[in-house]
A and B are shown apart, each in its own frame.
Chain A
Amino acid sequence: MYRLALNMLFGDRAKLAMLLCGLAFSALLMAQQSSVFFGIMSWTYTPMVNIRAQVWVSDPMVEQVNDAKPLRDTDLGRVRSVDGVAWAAPLHTSFVQARMQDGNFKLITLVGIDADTFAGAPAVLSQGRIEDLRLPDTVIVDEWGAALMGRMSVGPDGKPKNTPLQVGDTFEINDIQARIVGICRVKRAFTGGPFVYTTYDRAKGYTLGARRTLSFMLVEPQKGVAPAELCDRIERDTDLKAWTSDTVIWSWGERSLARNTFWWFWTNTGIPFSFGTAVLLGLFVGIAISGQTFYSFVLENLKYFAAIKAMGAGMGVIARMLFVQAFTAGLIGFGLGAGMAQAIGRVMIEKGMPPFVMYPQILWATFALVLGISFVSAVIGIIKVSRVDAASVFRG
């Protein structure tokens, strides 16, 4: 009978296509919307991605990466003396205004890295060399920032034209010149504008009067020492807080600064709510569409299930037939939808817009939702068939 149940499902290609489109579309919508949501949320811990280090050390009051509480310069020495530390480098981060040559101001994230080790340097430079940061008054800006801070002019066709900043261009931070020696490719941040890298010492100069400029310390564990283990040691030997740099936000450990940042934004800002409503809307539309297409499929076949019931099929057999149909359609629909979401995601990741983070958990959750919808539709169908009077098949 299950083979016939499948043949019933596949028998009408047009209706099957409708059903699968509905399921696939809703799976796509759910997976895509959630991925964009987590993509946007992942911007909250962008510094963790752009500034690469295995262990971060901060003031004990720090809750998330965008809110640094300055450390004393002497703390660096205390951390360096902790057993298991290979090296520790200073890091400055702050949000400052940069003045463009046309006089406009732009908010930037100023990142000062250690000039000896370049610990925390961007992973990819599309132009220039990191070593040139040792030259006077030099900075490296990210591609997004280069475009954002670019020069507007009128092109030969009369339309406004943006010329991104190039290596050699200059701007000012607190009246001090910043000369671009490199363009890097980094992840965008939710707060603080484009990333501008310079050396730690020069960052002190750019932020003028700031009494303390040590925001974080970047620490490399010695070979064979696990980052989480080193964090424990640092916290035991100093009164500072130490964090790992992993960006898996799903586990409940306290060690990951990215995870803490994510959940800090989750609980302390309206951001998850405002973007979450869009996701919920996507989920809702997805559930409605797939539930509706499935339900109409069940309704159309109700008459035939009633006939099968009159001919002596028990409700157990009919229930299993409906489940076979529902789960088969659900599986195929999910497969198509998830495949499309992956494909679209690949394009989005390439473009970087909108941000897109498709955790495996999103796919599992979408899978569970689609199967849940299939399950509920099948149960509704089963209830309908069980209510339908077998005698009704005698009527026209």
Chain B
Amino acid sequence: MSHPAHTVAFRATGVDMFFGTPENRVVALKQADFEARRGELIMLVGPSGCGKTTLLSVIAGTLTPQAGTVEVFGQRLDGLGQEALTTFRRRSLGFVFQSFNLIPTLTVVENVMVPLLIQGRPFDEAHARALAILDKVGLKGREEGRPNALSGGQQQRVAIARALVHEPPLLICDEPTSALDKDTGAQIMQMVRDLSRSPERCVVVVTHDHRIFRFADRIAEMEDGRISRVVDDPKLLDTTHL
């Protein structure tokens, strides 16, 4: 660890995020501090409504907090304009959503090509790279089908392929297994872990599925809009409320 800036993937400090009108205000994040390193898979756990998705959105630059600073790979997100934030997401982020968000009118391989085409890569290169990663997630032969013809687990594998095809240094997964059954969820997490592992990459997984805690290097627990503690071993967590 010669250069500390290389080890920190992102750092959010003192983040406040409110929704609604001043009279009718919902506090989603309250002085939240959250930090992760390159090379690790960190999970963000906590009861529904505690602010996990909001915190992810702040780190992804899709929400701008009212207070606090967010730094991702040494770059401060506050003060960046919409265009710079868009460029940042395009270059640095991969997303896996709870509801997959695959485009139903495109084929599987076309869905996976989207991040590369957004980056302006040539169609043929994007096509070849998408085919290669679909092979890795075990969907060889399904490339030309439509996402809706696949099972939930298969669709989430397409989403993982799409999130990783452009090799982003930060992979953000919001409840990637909550729409899946137990075994499929475990398989998906195994795949995320196998494919995304890299000394340069940081993976954040939001979940309240304690059956997949074992895939985490560290687990951050969230309560009422802030991180209450970070542990290395899932057994240290009180999972009764999850």
How many Å from the CB of A16 to the closest CB on chain B?
A: 9
Q: Say how far B50's CB is from chain A's closest CB, in angstroms.
A: 14
What mask results when residues 45 to 77 of chain B are scored 1 for a CB within 8 Å of chain A, else 0?
A: 000000001101100101100000000000000
Interface residues on A, range: 20 to 34
* Shortest distance between the CB of B189 and any CB in chain A (Å): 18
Q: Give the CA-CA distance A4 to B174 in the complex, in Å.
A: 26
Q: What's the Cα separation between A217 and B84 when bound, in Å?
A: 77
**Chain B residues near A12 (CB-CB < 8 A):** 104-105
Residues of chain A within 8 A of B113, CB atoms compared: 4
User: Is A313 in contact with B103, judged by CB distance below 8 angstroms?
Assistant: no
Closest to B146 in A: A11
For residue A303, which residue of chain B has the nearest CB? Answer: B101
Q: Are B105 and A311 in contact (CB under 8 A)?
A: no
**Bitwise interface map of B from 83 to 111 toward A, beta carbon under 8 Å scored 1, else 0:** 10011111101010111010111110010
Minimum CB–CB distance from A324 to chain B (whole Å) comes to 13
A304, B101: Cβ atoms under 8 Å?
yes
Beta-carbon nearest neighbor of B86 in chain A:
A314
- Separation in Å of the A360 CB from the closest CB of chain B? 36
- Interface segment among B115-123, B149-157, B213-221, B228-236: the answer is B115-123
In the complex, A210 has a CB within 8 A of chain B: no
Contacting residue for B86 out of A10, A307, A313, A394, CB 8 A: A313
Size of the chain B interface, CB-CB below 8 angstroms:
35
A341 to chain B, nearest CB (A): 30
**In the complex, what residue of chain B is closest to A392 when comparing beta carbons?**
B62
Provide the residues of chain A in CB contact with B103, threshold 8 Å: 8, 11, 304, 307-308
Find out whether the CB atom of B114 lies under 8 angstroms from the CB atom of A4.
yes
Residues of B within 8 A of A390 (CB): 62
Q: Do A394 and B174 form a contact, CB below 8 Å, given A4-B110, A8-B103?
A: yes
Q: Is the CB of A8 within 8 A of B174?
A: no
B115 — which chain A residues lie within 8 A by C-beta? 311-312
| B-chain residues with CB within 8 Å of residue A307 when the two chains form the complex | 97, 101, 103
Q: Which residues of A contact B104 (CB under 8 A)?
A: 11-12, 304
Q: Is A1 on the interface with B (CB-CB < 8 A)?
A: yes
B123 is contacted by which of A3, A304, A308, A394 (Cβ under 8 Å)? A3
In whole angstroms, how far apart are the Cα atoms of A395 and B98 in the complex?
Answer: 8
A residues within 8 A CB of B89?
Answer: 310-312
Cβ contacts under 8 Å, A82 to chain B: none
Q: A303–B89 Cα gap in the complex (Å)?
A: 18
Q: How far is the CB of B223 from chain A (nearest CB, A)?
A: 20
Task: Determine if B106 and A11 form an interchain contact, defined as CB atoms under 8 angstroms apart.
Answer: yes
Q: Residues of A contacting B54 with CB < 8 Å? A: 391
Most-contacted residue by chain A among B89, B105, B118 (CB, 10 A): B105
Hey, which chain B residues are within 8 Å of A317, CB to CB? 118
A396 at the interface (CB under 8 A from B): yes
Quick one: closest A residue to B56, CB to CB?
A: A394
CA distance A308 to B91 in the complex (A): 13
CB within 8 Å of B: which residues of A? 1, 3-4, 7-12, 303-304, 307-314, 317, 389-391, 393-396
Q: Which 8 A-B pairs have the closest CB atoms?
A: A11-B105, A312-B90, A312-B89, A391-B57, A390-B62, A391-B62, A307-B101, A304-B103
Residues of B within 8 A of A (CB): 53-54, 56-57, 60, 62-63, 83, 86-91, 93, 95, 97-99, 101, 103-107, 110, 113-115, 117-119, 123, 146, 174
Further contacts, 10 of them, CB under 8 A, given A314-B83, A391-B63, A394-B98: A4-B117, A7-B105, A8-B103, A304-B101, A311-B89, A311-B95, A312-B86, A312-B90, A312-B91, A393-B97
